[in-house]
Amino acid sequence: MTTTIEHKSYARVGLLGNPSDVYYGRTISFSLANFWAIVRLEPSDDLIIQPHHFHDLVRFKSISQLVNRLESEGYYGGVRLLMAICKVFQKYCNENNIELKSGNFTLHYDTNIPRQTGLSGSSAIVSAALNCLLDFYNVRHLIKVEVRPNLILSAEKELGIVAGLQDRVAQVYGGLVYMDFSKEHMDKLGHGIYTPMDTSLLPPLHLIYAENPSDSGKVHSNVRKRWLDGEEFIISSMKEVANLALEGRSALLEENYTKFAELINRNFDLRRLMFGDDALGSMNIDMVTVARKVGAASKFTGSGGAVVVYCPEGPSQVKLLEDACKEAGFIIQPVEISQLQRVQEL
């Protein structure tokens, strides 16, 4: 095989119900076409994971540049993600008697997803790489689409990344997806029930994010422990969060956008009650507050770093929001939604 394989996976926005996907809940998410990761696979004599010229930088002009770089970008690039999905993919195939042909390849990646914005930049790289592996080994038909988000999540768990399945489901399926992660489904099937929805049901949305956001990977930890310990407040609140996705699905199908706005705001309010302001971070709360001050509905896209906003009053309200974001130093742009993957592509 001499053909180059290339796949793109988009960023993800958790619209309603997050973070209940980690707690046998329900969510609605969509893949965000504003940002993406691309992985390219080229057949080669040896198996090579190619470092990115920026994200995997290992050459610096001074120790000061190195330190500044680490403080702004962190220690990790995408090489470890590509290695992890190769390991998880090969292990899954071995355990399920899926024979892999001989031959090697070189993996390259690129991404424009802003770091630490809760837009699932890491899983986008892994998702695109998995698609390349499925095509290189010609096993797409042997690994069910419902299972692929589990493989992506397993690769990230190899690296200690704290996350749930919803991000990976949105990136595998594309478009707008309603997800049910009830314990019954998870125990019986090993995955949730995923139902694509028509993206035209969504009203115009906007994305707000900061250039120097907080780390989204630390936000789940304390609440997870309290849930496992059986704390009634966390258990009941997480059930309410999950029900927001169910109500949101009905609201979108009925085009009841007043209800939809209320659910978005309630989702953030419940998260704030459970996690507390210290865990959420002042900058993240400020992004939500900026939107609410102009009467818009807003919530985190993930665990912090970016906010999804709905302006029910239309363009005049959007203008007020743009001005408020400019004054606060936040970036704002209209949401572009990727379309559902075609059946033959899945």
Q: Which of 21, 110, 167, 187 is catalytic?
A: 167
| 207 bridge partner residues | 308, 333
346 vs 340: CA distance, rounded Å: 10
Residue 82 one-letter amino acid: L
Residues 133/40, Cβ–Cβ less than 8 Å: no
102 vs 82: CA distance, rounded Å: 19
> Which of 312, 314, 272, 313 has its CA nearest to residue 289?
272
DSSP H or E segment with residue 206: strand 205-209
Catalytic status, residue 278: no
List % helix, strand, coil for the chain (3-state, nearest 5): 45, 20, 35
Q: Name the token pair of 40.
A: 């390219």
19 vs 25: CA distance, rounded Å: 8
CB-count exposure of residue 15 (10 Å: 0-12, 13-18, 19+): buried
Catalytic positions, written as ranges: 167
